[in-house]
Amino acid sequence: MLDSAVWREIEPFYLEPIIVPEGELERLATLLPEWQWLLNIPPDTLESFKPWDAYQIKRFFTRYPDLKLFKPVLSFHDPDARVWLTGLFQVAVVERNRPPVVLARVNSIKSELVSVRSSATLDADIARWNRRSIRLTPLRRLKATLGNFHRSGENGFAFGYFPGVDLDNQEVGENWLFARSRTWNGIAVDYQPVDALDNALFVHYRPTERIGGFATAMRYRNAFGRIGLKGLIAHESERATNDSLLFGDIDAAYDFSAFGVSFSSTAALSPLRSSMPFRLGLEHVGEELAARSDFVYIPSTFSSPRSRLLHRYRSTLDLDSLPSSVSELSTQIYFKLAKILRIKPCLSYVYCSTRSALAASVRLSGSDAFDYACTYRYVAADSELAHKFIARVSDFKLAALKLDGRLALYATNDDFMSASLRQACLFEFGELFQLAPELYLYANTADHIKIVPGIHYQCELFEKTATRLSLEFPFENARFDEMYFRATARFLL
């Protein structure tokens, strides 16, 4: 049960989950900078949870209880296990008056040399890849990925935003060449001649842009550095010309272990426009206290149509075009006072030449007999004010019944208010069957009322297989004219 802003960022991972043992939590950290302090888990820490069985996964969430929020998009499949095939087949109605859509996802690991991951969507009109990748490891220190890949350490200044493109009417070959996912697509090669040195080369190609580049990273004791050079050709449909840009990357970090503090800096160079946006960060991570402060500056002379940061600031400031000369100062602190009480205050201020926005939030959470979280968020953008309060309770056990609930309240200074409530009850029949009736209520001051009763059923007849069926019956303003269903089958061989 996520905040809408978080939901928009992680929605694609419901189709292609994050594989935690492979260190893919970094993909979430890139999209959700306010969660970086929690999502950047060192590789040696992840190693301590092997073999990632039920006990180790429970221990993982005991150590990182706030990650339960992302549990629906996390996978704990161990890539080192000698598993031949894992898969998922899903049938769902996703649009009114449209035939069902079939999702098929297959991951196969046949040897240490080859790993295949793929997911495809099939409907009445078209068949399209969502995401697919083939990873080759011919040598222990050499890895090549074909298809969709993840760029580790991408700072978001020049790249990271991939616009949607409708290819459903293209030729069959192009439909399968370009996946539906808005992510990196092409070839990436990583070579690590020694433990302290990592070299990466990649070529990215989508109908909306072409990107190529390389990067070299080095780590020595507590110091880390990376340099890179990348080129971009962006195809903008509304203009006859394309943007051709060249960027350089410089990253540096140092861990002052004696003080428990680390300093990081990153910059993107645009030599053709003589501009250099940069980010400075200061971080402390401990068991009971974690804190991070960042300052970001993007000068007016810098511009990239594929900049993830510029597009995020455009949304934050509610602008019609990409902003120029943007600055952001953000601070977040995490207190773990006890198992039943964790506090996380956050403050962010974004400023550009035409608008500014202030966002402040505080989150209280804890776990004991059940998990709970309460979040209040205040946003001020010029003369527009918004308040949001979310309360969530999960894993509340009452005999054989487990309750999950979420209450959300939203109000603005123009007298708009809304409220939503979601309540689910989970009945467990041994370890094989689960039945979960659910009710969702929503109402606002614009006389919009929505009631959605639903039911979810899950069955695990065998240790490595599971099936799930979901039905929802939405009523909008007392009118019922549709039903949504989703049937899912998972297997592991």
Q: What is the pLDDT of residues 30-80, one digit of tens each?
A: 667 667 667 778 777 888 888 787 788 888 887 787 787 788 778 776 655
pLDDT of residue 121: 72
pLDDT of residue 3: 54
The pLDDT score that the predictor gives to residue 384 is 84
Cross-strand pairs, 471? 455, 485
* Spatial distance between the Cα atoms of 59 and 48, rounded to a whole number of angstroms: 10
Q: Where along the chain do its domains lie?
A: 1-81, 84-125+431-440+453-474+481-493, 127-286
What local confidence, expressed as pLDDT, does residue 75 receive? 78
Single pTM value for the model: 0.81
Residue-level pLDDT at 99:
63
Fold exhibited by the domain 127-286 = Porin (2.40.160)
| pLDDT attached to residue 293 | 93
Nearest to 79 by CA among 108, 55, 57, 104: 108
Q: Is the dihedral of CA 161, 164, 170, 171 positive or negative?
A: positive
Burial 307-316 (b: 16+ CB within 10 A, else e): bbbbbbbbeb
Residue spans of the chain under pLDDT 50:
1, 238-240
pLDDT at 238: 47
